[in-house]
Structure 1
Amino acid sequence: MRVIAGEYKGRRLKSVPGSNTRPTTDKVKESLFNIIGPFFDGGISLDMFAGSGGLSIEAVSRGIDRAVLFEKNRKALDTIKENIDITKEPEKFTVYAGDARKNLRVFASENPNTQFSLVFLDPPYAEEKTVADITEMIALQLVNEETIFVCEMAKENTLPEQIGPYGKWKRAVYGTIAIEMFDYYQEG
């Protein structure tokens, strides 16, 4: 795994040891960022199930100001720390250990008026509650009309066309996985 583009381009990232996490491959990561816009003009990203932290590091490399990562797996947390160290800019990353859904409420209470411009949702497939997670972010006012959601799932699964005020605008399949993207939906 490596950083594909931007400030950290070419830096090698470590994968989480074992088989409990599914790292997003470089090919999928490159395609994904080409779809959502290869570079960003600031903003804050959230990775609710961060794994190795690769998506957040890629987002910051491409112009996101700050990344928030949630992860409960101890080996993954150690890997995230090592990968953040590779950036030499640890101040751009905030890592919350523990349950992602609890961390969402903690983050909202500790950071009033903070809203994410980019959200990655790649939960363990057995724990997939993406609709509920997006609905909770809306209720906690952590997202706005500029937010883009990137949701990864098994290719056999699909999310509704609309979740609250956010509509699905893209689905891409890569081997055994699918990625669906949502942004603010405006009629007319």
Structure 2
Amino acid sequence: MRIISGKYAKRNLFTLKSNKTRPTSDKVKESLFNSLGQFFNGGNVLDLYAGSGALGIEAVSRGYDHASLVDINHAACSIIKKNVALTKEENLFSVYNMRSNTALKLFAENQEKFDLVFLDPPYAKEKIAKDMLQMNKLGLLNSSATIVAETDDHTELGDISGFSLIKEYHLGKTIVRIYRKD
């Protein structure tokens, strides 16, 4: 797995050697960023189930200002920190080893707001809608924030109040849904 484009392009990333995380493949990541617009002009990113941190690092590589990378797994956070160190710009990243709901509350207390959010939780159907509604309730999203939800091909999400599904595409057994905050 590597960083595909931007200022950190072609750097190989470390991954957790465990079945507890499912790294987003380079093919899915490239397709995802192609559909988001490839390059960006600032903003804050949140990856709430960061795994290796690849999506948040890719977003900063392509022009976002800062990424908050959250994972409950201690070993995953160690890998994220190693990957962030590869950028040589550690100040552009914050790594949080905690539960997703604890992180959301912390971000609300700190009055943080996000422009792009990645959601790829282990139990997608139950968590994605809850997380999106919670972020909206806590005021964590800037106007017209983009939420990227990644699931397997058996997971249906349905309508999520306060958000519009703007794009959905299938890449093998992965479905990527892109939502915009209403």
User: Is this a same-fold pair by TM over 0.5?
Assistant: yes
Q: Per-residue CA shift, 1:6-58, capped at 9, x if unaligned?
A: 00000110111111100000010000000111011100000000000000000
Partner of 2:149: 151
Q: Aligned to 2:167, what secondary structure does the other structure show?
A: strand
**Does structure 2 retain, via aligned residues, the 8 Å contact 1:170–1:182?**
yes
Distance between the aligned counterparts of 1:100 and 1:27, measured in 2?
26
2: CA distance, partners of 1:179 / 1:125: 15
SS in 2 for 1:138: helix
Aligned-partner SS, 2:178: strand
1:174 Cα deviation from its structure 2 partner: 1.4
1:41 counterpart = 2:41: yes
Q: How does 1:102-181 map to 2 (within 5 A)?
A: 102-109=102-109, 111-112=110-111, 114-125=112-123, 128-161=126-159, 163-181=160-178
Instruction: Give the distance between the partners of 2:120 and 2:107, measured in 1 at CA.
Output: 19
Residues 125, 157 of structure 2: 8 Å contact kept = no
Q: Which segments of 5 or more consecutive residues in structure 1 lack a partner in the other structure?
A: none
**2:77 corresponds to which residue?**
77
Q: Report sequence identity in percent.
A: 44
Give the aligned residue type for 2:178: M
Tell me, which stretches of 5 or more residues in structure 2 are unaligned?
none
The 8 Å contact of residues 152 and 180 in structure 1, kept in 2 or not, is answered as yes
Q: Residues 138-176 of structure 1, C-alpha deviation per residue, up to 9 Å, x if partnerless?
A: 011001322000001111112223x22210011111121
- Tell me, what secondary structure is at the counterpart of 2:155? coil
Aligned-partner residue type, residue 7 of structure 2: E
Q: Which residue is 1:12 aligned to?
A: 12
Aligned Cα root-mean-square deviation (Å):
1.3
- Paired with 2:177 and 2:97, the residues of 1 have a C-alpha distance of 26
- Offset of residue 127 of structure 1: 7.6
Measure, in 2, the Cα distance between the counterparts of 1:26 and 1:56: 14
Query: How far apart are 1:103 and its partner, in Å?
Result: 1.1
Q: Aligned equivalents of 1:45 and 1:120: distance in 2? A: 8
Length, aligned pairs only: 182
1-side partners of 2:70 and 2:3: how far apart? 20
Give secondary structure in 2 for the equivalent of 1:70: strand
Q: TM-score, normalised by structure 1?
A: 0.93
Preserved contact between residue 48 and residue 121 of structure 1 (Cα < 8 Å):
yes
Aligned partners of 2:126 and 2:92: how far apart in 1?
A: 28
- Rounded to whole Å, the distance in 2 between the matches of 1:128 and 1:28 is 22
Query: For residue 167 of structure 1, what is the amino acid of its counterpart?
Result: S
